[in-house]
Amino acid sequence: MKIYEQTELDFKDVLVKPKRSFINSRSEVEVTREYKFKWCPRRIVGTGIIAANMATVGTFEIARHMIQSKMFCCLHKHYPVDDLIKFITENDCRDYVFLSMGLRDEDYEKIETILTQYPDKCRNICIDVPNAYIPRVKDLVVKMREKFPDILLMVGNAVTAELVEDLILSGADIVKCGIGSGSACITRRITGVGRPQLSTIFECADTAHGIGGMICSDGGVVYIGDVCKAFGAGADFVMMGGFYAGCPQAAGDVIEKQFITNQVDENGNQIIETKKFKIFYGMSSEYAQNKHYHGMPKYRASEGRVVEIPLKDSIDKLNQDILGGLRSYMTYIGARRLKDVSKCTTFYRVNTQLNTVFGE
């Protein structure tokens, strides 16, 4: 048994120090950057926000909106190959869309078909396994890089320097980092495994950047300020699931619920309010296993939850809010370009992040 004594930090444990800035207006900052990768020869200009490859968020509809904002979408792995081909041939997916694969043979066959038959359409691939520490993940990275040397390859999930280094040196351009931080995740509760997201970013970004790689912070964004903190800590990309799951463009049925308010109408009857919700579920939940596979195998326990999210604004408004927050952040810290954000960031460790007198 061993214990690391240093305190590990999450987004909520820090605030960011404002600094003297020569930027007069939020309109003067550049929220996109040019991404150059270790292995993939392509360069991409974008804002490193990625919609997660969860079934209700990593969808064609969400992808179309993300592309418009020069943001990314990681499509979920459950689309049949014909649907993916139709989508990538009808939309400009080259830069901003990732195709996901797990370790199953049918995932590999699907991706191989697309990469070989449609070589100029979509060559961004995400190998997504909740636990990238198992050896088959690295083997797949090596195989993909050998077979398709020019692809942009993201792989995850990891939370420590040694695996980040190993995966990048094996052929990954981007390592997806985060275990147990997701909003629909209960891994920490049922296994005790995980690492606070900010410390994960510090360590993994430092290691990745040292060898020409990049990281994507995956999970745990509660507020838009957390996106800013993730970039500030060194993340090149920030992936979000729950944040988008309540918008009307996300997949999933809308359910209506009625609530009795404490107000009365002119006839003295209590006013009933109707609220709309979207169903959102973790991809390792029993619900997801039943929906997308053949039920939950006996050797597994559910590591995800099902939640009802109050219907939110449209995705375009959410993305506008993210960019607004990011621009303001960059103005506060004096970073003119997205690429400079982490150099300009200094964190305060805090005991209290928000004033919650009137709610969060």
Q: Output the DSSP codes for 294-338.
A: SS--TT----B-EEEEE----HHHHHHHHHHHHHHHHHHHT-SBG
Q: Given the rule CB under 6 A, which of 15-23, 26-34, 182-190, 264-272 is the region that contacts ligand 5GP?
A: 182-190
Q: For residue 281, which phi and psi values (nearest 5 degrees)?
A: -140, 150
Of 46, 171, 182, 246, the residue at the interface with ligand 5GP (CB under 6 A) is 182
Of 46, 130, 225, 232, the residue at the interface with ligand 5GP (CB under 6 A) is 130
Q: Does 51 bind ligand 5GP (CB under 6 A)?
A: no
- Dihedral-angle region of residue 292 (phi above 0 means left; psi in -120 to 50 means alpha; beta otherwise): alpha
Residues numbered 283 to 342 that lie near ligand 5GP (CB under 6 A) are 283-285, 303-304
Cα separation of 106 and 108, whole Å? Answer: 5
Q: Which helix (H) or strand (E) element contains residue 190?
A: helix 187-191
Q: Given the rule CB under 6 A, which of 26-34, 40-48, 78-86, 281-289 is the region that contacts ligand 5GP?
A: 281-289
Q: What are the structure tokens assigned to 79, written together?
A: 């689309």
Counting residues that bind ligand 5GP (by CB under 6 A) gives 26
Q: Does 154 bind ligand 5GP (CB under 6 A)?
A: no
Nearer to ligand 5GP, 232 or 304 (CB): 304
Q: Provide the residue count of the chain.
A: 360
Q: Does 183 bind ligand 5GP (CB under 6 A)?
A: yes
Q: Which of 122, 126, 177, 185 is catalytic?
A: 185
Q: In the chain, what's the furthest Cα-to-Cα distance? A: 74
Cα separation of 231 and 221, whole Å? Answer: 12
Residues that bind ligand 5GP (CB under 6 A): 52, 54, 130, 157, 178, 180, 182-185, 187, 218-221, 239-243, 282-285, 303-304
Catalytic (active-site) positions: 185, 187
